[in-house]
Structure 1
Amino acid sequence: MRTKTISKHEPSGTEYASLQTQFSRYDRTTFSGFVYDRADLGRRYTVELLVDGEPYMSSLCDEFVTELADAGIGDGRFGFTFHVQDQVGSNATIVEARLANIGSPVGTPIRCDVAAPEAQWHRIGDIKWAGGLRFEGWLAQDVDEDIEILIAQRPVMTVRPIGWTNVAQGGEFGVGRRIDFHLPEHFADGRVRGLSARTMSGRSLVSEPIAFVAFDRGLEQTLADLGRWDSERLRGQLFDQLLPASVPFHTYQGWKARFWPASQSDVSSEAAVVLIGDVRVDESIESLEAQRHATWTAASLPAQGFSQFDPRAAREFVDGDAANSDFFVFCLSGTILAEDALQRFADVFASEVDCDLAYGDVEVQGGAVWPLAFSAFDLERALEQAYGAYCFAVRRERALEALRSATSLYDIFLSCVEPDRTFHLPGSVAALPRIDASAAIAELIAASEAYFVRAGIDANVEPRKAGLLPAVRVRRAVDWNERTTIIIPNRNRAELLKRCIETVTPAVHETNARILVVDNGSTEPETLDYLESLSAEEIDVISVEGPFNFAAINNAAVDCVDTENICFLNNDVQALDDGWLAELLWRLAAPDVGAVGAKLLWPNSVVQHGGVVLGTNFFAAHAFNDRMDGDPGYGDLLQVAHECSAVTAACLLMRKRDFVAVGGMDAIRFPINFNDIDLCLKLRHLGKRIVFTPDAKLVHLESASRGRDSAPDRKARFNRELAMLRAKWGAVLLDDPYYSPLLGLDSAPFSALAWPPRSWKARANLPPVPTVPPIGM
């Protein structure tokens, strides 16, 4: 049912005599309208939504209203949208809108139990420039139309919304259809242009043309190619960092032809190639004959299962034809090696004396050729997915040692990897054949189990549902005598805190944990009464006075904790099952893991947090918040546990002793934002791993309790903390080891190719080193 109420309301007094308003109900949970002053079209009002007489939320009236723009009323940005929680929309009797701090009604109150004519307007979408030739946005779920893109009012292309995205509406969130497209490359000519967008029925999505500029190979390279203005190269570098460019994955073949570096190496060494299996061997040999690396020998070992082989046949090859080989390359039969694969492996062994094993990116077939761009070495992902095992090279001495006991491709890979002696080569070294997931998973389980036996670690390895690559799930043994305290900061909003505690309590009981609520100046009677009642449930409450400082609040809480582990949890997080905390503890059981983060969803099932990627627009971004729950993610990263540079403190488990060792959260430099990123990077500086697990899944109403940092009064603080993050961790922001330099940094991580690539250099996963600016700088 859609209802509406439209009025031209004129409040008493001359100040608001020319005010025009509309207020309507689009569906059970969505209310929208507009407010503008005919005498002052530059003014923006703030509207407050009331549900049954109680204030619910507020919103600035700055959304684009196509109908107003078409009527020539200012820039058309006078709209507002409220998306209320489902239970509120279902139970409300009267919903009304008023001008904030003035009290004048906007439209007339809406009776939710009475039908009315269909609403005439609601926000249908938006588009923004993401840098380079990329644009992103959203379209309302019910608008089933393609989008026409215009440059200088001339149509250039038509795009169809694909997938889903989260849309902030008046403090709550809704689902929109995702718009994500790149303009043709000929627009990357350094000229400033304006982009417009409209639905095929003619409804505009932007209030005025979006100004953009893009440069072929980036502004820094453009200035360098001009051969002058060297003083401007720094400006170009900064522009490329803040507005990086990308191209879509489907252009991979053209991107590869354009940017692939020419090999000029004169390294001379002999390679031995071991092909496991007897399918399409001729094709693999043909790719070897095309190698630029002249000296090689190869053997095809019959497969026993998926990638298992007879160790005796392997040793015969090692002692016979491969007796003089400097390094061994292992892959499946049917693998098509890139022309420079052997040369690149030879180069990394010659230049990196600490490198024992090197693996590269790969290509997979799916109607076209698609790139799988990997990270620097990731032990957790290696144990769950063996992602680098499909084409890798090992120094002779290490290979001989592994072949004494290894019996499969996965076994060799996991026998040889050591985090500080394993290097990643950005760029594809091979195209993979088809993988038999059912057979491969059994062998991967055996190889991961063998790894834990060698390491003396008690762990259970189980099969996972196969994705693009076979995968398993690892559960290390936990000492349940070690206890965990869940720390929940809170100020007012009793309903949020109550729901959070209710949903996490089963996991608390299951793991023998405890809850500590840290109250920061609550004043609402309902909240104070609820906090007082928690003692009966054996939940501790402490008070930390003063302005909201997330870092200081958590630091104070940790000082009061006497358990071995601490779990930071926002009060706007809700658990979806009882096993999330146990899953985090299974990951933290590895002694070199410093922190573990969970998969967080918005209430509409769009992914809110899938780990943190550094470098996007020269700061950081949550990975995969362009995906719905159930999507496997790029390279199946939403299906397997893996490492990342940081995870959000909205749900973060770590040891108290590690928290103390890094000095806790930085309450001076990062009081509100980026304190969790700084904390994780400090842990990594000590050699600790940060792990994200998709098997701990919770709902996060991001910023529901304190508001969003886009609010005008918080932008200055956010920008200061961002500047501090760039000053302290700028080097790692430019080179996140867990994110390929071949992937775009313009917007949503793992969604496009970098244009141009940032580096082709082999890289190891090394601890980040901070540059700590003095306080006050």
Structure 2
Amino acid sequence: MTEHLMEQPQTEVSAIQPHFSGAILGLQGDVLHGWAMDNTQEEHRPVVEVLIDGASVALIRADQYEPSVPAGDRFHGFAVQLRQRWLDEARLITARIANQSFVLGGQLLLPTVPPVSSGESASVASQVWHTGGLRVGGWCWDPKAPNRHVDITVREGDRIVAQTTCNEHHQALVYRATSDHGFGIDLPWELADGKLHVLEIVNDLGQALAGSPIRLCCLPEGIEGLLRQLSSAHNGAALALMTEVAKEQSLRLPKSAGWQHYPHWFEAFQGLDEQQPPQLQGKLGVLMLSDGNTLHEKISLNSLGVRHVSAHPVSIAGPSNVLPALAELLEAGCDRVLPITAGDRLAPSALPHLSALLDDGSVWAYADCDRDGPQGERSLPWLKPVWDIDLFIGADIFTPGAIYSANIIRNALSLLMSYKNNAEVNVNDLTAGIALATQQARARVAHLPRVLYHRSVQRPASPEQTQPCPQRLQAMKWLCKNLAPGATVSQLVDYPALFRAHWPLPPELPRVSLIVPTRDNYKLLHACVEGLLNETDYPNLEIIVVDNQSSDRLTLDYLSELSKRGVKVVRHPYPFNYSTINNRAASYATGELIGLVNNDIEIIEPNWLNEMVAQVLRPDVGAVGAKLLWPNMMVQHGGVVVGVNGLAAHTGNSLEQRDSGYLGTNQITRRQSAVTAACLLLRKSVFDSVGGLNERAYPVAFNDVDLCLKIQQQGLHVLWCASAKLIHAESASRGKDLSPEKQARATREQNHFRSTWSSPEKSDPYYHPNLSIDYLSGPYGGLAFPPREAATRYSN
């Protein structure tokens, strides 16, 4: 799309309304640029409301750098992407200061005549963000060459700091045909020196990106670390209080560092206190898993330390049969066993730290791991969640860095004997047996979120990159059959090293009541309900559509038609409250299972509901969420991480549906702290037992996360189902929160959520405390900088 012409922008303060000034500067493609400022308070960054043909479509804060601003510090610019469907029939674009009468100059009349060609390219649409730390992100798109991937450069003065190509998927571009024009830049570690650095970000045409320059000033340990040092030196109560305040600020404004900084990050934050390691309890044995390579065995033995090698039995086993070596260790009186693969190494003092994890009643435990780089440097960390048997079935990320009590090993071998019939027991059989024994006993598993195990440089970078293992596939089939008779396991087509469990459905399928709230938006509603009726292959289905003050004639006629087709239509002529709407509809439901479904859901695979029902009927499962995709097949929802900026955020928003994701998790059904109510399935009895959705505290947002967290308090698990895939155009029907009342409501919801579920002391058990909780990077987008508290965590 060409750059649009516009009326002459307003560059001087209006004589009639001198309080504000501002202008629309242009529309590059579908991105509107401009500036706005409060002339009486230049440090204030006003919010701009964008209108198309008089209808409000977007809000954006004017806080980005814009060189054409005539006064102040020039951080009064804005850039906002407008959906193409809004522009297709648009005639006039205007903007004003939100909740004020002041209209920005430079309104756009559409369609416009392209500018006379001068041989120069139109401005490249862009945006850059920085929220602190060493991570910069954004997107850049050339409207004259939509498929071109723009190169960008970060400069400090004349020095080039970093360069990259904009070829990553970015959530801000999900409504475009192609979304792979985003970027993430990891700034050099040496910039975290506590000094101010002004960095300019420009594209390959020499144009500064919207939001450039950025001002960077940070230290690796963060402000709270600095205050802790001062507090320790002066022993002052005031400094201790300031430290707590700093933690609270870090919760709301967290910082991150990119994955490429892991070697520096490891040296700064992962060292163990070798002067005071935990006192070893009991008798520890080491199980060396070796294919006979004596050089690799020596590397692993050396990492144990001379003192520990001489003090603790080491038994070597081939990976195809671990029974003789295990029997040797158990007969020697070992009450705990630490497996290590020949060529892998333990971090200094790791052995006593791992052993200490079993001294509090845990049946087994594990720490995090990484991989040796070609030069021995640290690389590719596997930062793990608490124990999750569903994730384990998909990919074993837990074994490297694990330690097992003798009791759980004996229990596992006892379970395996009937299966193996005294035949050889390979290492995959052993870990499957331990998983089953843990599940049956509801035993506790400990996780120390610290990197104590270093995998060999020859080991795969990530689970999905390993060679498919027939022995592990057979072991997982045995495990799943013992968890649920009739269960089967298959390899993923795109990632054959990853597995998917198929849980059995009962002969008589339970009724599922699907609740679909709506207000107008006939096209969305029609696509959703017809998909439920005609494209979903689940036979015992009840659909309840809740009409929340629809006035559009097409919608009203369609609702009348649905009533005649057996769909329940419940009228709700009251102000919008998502929680109230769904709670009321649930009282009409006759199904054993309830499904919350947004009216902007589209069915793309007929078996989606069968997949979710099979999961939710399993013991200890309280709720199941689907894998939701944008129309361009980017991931909109891959589970929820609690704690991002003190709130909660969707996982996977920078991924395409077929991408593996961090440690393969974009393809693996696994436990999560929460899933979205855009498509959520649970038993009606569970919904009722937790009081449904919280109507008072969360009328619009966070009600689904709150629901899931309450369900977990009852000892039930929440699952994200990777095999149930649907399209979701998020908030397409409800729109933006524009009015002061709605913004105040959103603030109340956020504050209530923070005070109830999010604090510096709390950590999402299914998300590692050393992973970033920045909105900028998103879940799994980088490393926490500085890391959060890393106390031992336990399975539920």
**TM-score normalised by the shorter chain: which range applies?**
0.7 to 0.9
Tell me if structure 1 keeps the 8 A contact 2:94–2:107: yes
| Deviation readout 1:685-727 (Å, 9 max, x if unpaired) | 0011111122112222111111234775533222211111111
Tell me the alpha carbon deviations over residues 322-366 of structure 1, each in whole angstroms, 9 at most, x when there is no partner: 51212112344443333333222211112x22x111122222468
Q: Read off the aligned partner of 2:219 and give its amino acid letter.
A: F
What CA distance in whole angstroms lies between the structure 1 residues aligned with 2:348 and 2:28?
A: 62
Residue of structure 2 in register with 1:411 after alignment: 429
Match of 1:262 in 2: 273
**Residues in 2 aligned to 1:660 and 1:558: alpha-carbon distance in whole angstroms:** 9
Match of 1:239 in 2: 249
Deviation at 1:280, TM superposition (A): 3.3
SS in 1 for 2:172: strand
Residue 400 (structure 1) aligns with: 410
Q: Cα gap change, 1:694/1:279 in structure 2, threshold over 3 Å: closer, same or farther?
A: farther
User: How many angstroms does 1:95 deviate by?
Assistant: 3.6
Aligned to 2:477: 449
Give me the whole-angstrom Cα distance separating, in 2, the residues matched to 1:330 and 1:603: 46
Taking the TM superposition and a 5 Å limit, the aligned residue runs for 1:82-231 are: 82-85=82-85, 95-99=90-94, 106-110=107-111, 124-140=125-141, 142=146, 144-150=149-155, 155=159, 157-160=161-164, 161-167=166-172, 175=179, 177-191=181-195, 194-206=198-210, 209-226=213-230, 227-228=233-234, 229-231=239-241
1:694 equivalent in structure 2: 722
CA separation in 2, counterparts of 1:247 and 1:640?
26
Q: Secondary structure at the match of 1:349?
A: coil
Alignment match of 2:370 (pick from 363, 380, 385): 363
Residues 356-755 of structure 1 mapped to structure 2, 5 A cutoff: 356-364=363-371, 369-404=379-414, 405=416, 407-417=425-435, 418=438, 420-426=443-449, 427-432=451-456, 433-434=458-459, 440-465=468-493, 467=495, 470-479=497-506, 480-709=508-737, 713-731=741-759, 734-747=762-775, 748-755=778-785
Match of 1:300 among 312, 316, 325: 316
C-alpha spacing 1:95/1:221, structure 2 compared with 1 (3 Å): closer
Alpha-carbon spacing, 1:173–1:549, altered in 2? closer, same or farther (3 Å): farther
Counterparts of 1:391 and 1:65 in 2: how far apart (Å)?
45
Cα gap change, 1:232 to 1:389, in 2 (>3 Å)? closer
What's the CA shift string for 1:518-571, capped at 9, x where partnerless? 111112222211211112332211012211111111111111101011111111
Question: Are positions 1:284 and 2:294 aligned together?
Answer: no
**Deviation of 1:5 (Å):** 4.7
Between the aligned partners of 1:642 and 1:698, the Cα distance in structure 2 is: 18
| Overall identity of the aligned pairs, in % | 26
2:422 maps to what in 1?
none
CA shift for structure 1 position 371: 0.6
Partner of residue 346, structure 1:
355
Deviation at 1:302, TM superposition (A): 2.7
Give 3-state SS (helix, strand or coil) of 1:485's partner: strand
Matches within 5 A, 1:323-342: 323-342=332-351
1:167–1:174 contact (8 Å) kept in structure 2: no
Cα 1:120–1:708 change in 2 (3 A) is farther
1-side partners of 2:22 and 2:291: how far apart?
79
Q: TM-score normalised to the size of structure 1? A: 0.85
Report Cα offsets for 1:616-639 as digits up to 9, x if no partner. Answer: 222211112122222111010001
| One-letter amino acid of the structure 2 residue matched with residue 241 of structure 1 | L
User: How many Å separate the matches in 1 of 2:31 and 2:150?
Assistant: 22
Which 5+ residue runs of structure 2 have no aligned equivalent? Answer: 418-424
SS in 1 for 2:250: helix
In 1: Cα distance, 2:466 partner to 2:150 partner: 41
Shift of 1:45: 6.7
Q: 1:683 to 1:147 in 2, by over 3 A?
A: same
Q: Cα–Cα, structure 1 residues 388 and 493, in superposed 2: closer, same or farther, change >3 Å?
A: same
Gaps of 5+ in 1: 767-777
The one-character-per-residue Cα deviations of 1:111-154 (angstroms, maximum 9, x if unpaired) are 8xx98867985662112222323222222254744333345x56
For residue 389 of structure 2, what is the amino acid of its counterpart?
L
Deviation at 1:193, TM superposition (A): 5.4
CA distance in 2, matches of 1:187, 1:560: 59
Aligned-pair Cα RMSD in Å? 3.8
Report the CA distance shift for 1:274/1:25 in structure 2 as closer, same or farther (over 3 A): closer
Residue 162 of structure 1 deviates from its aligned partner by 4.6
How many angstroms does 1:370 deviate by?
0.8
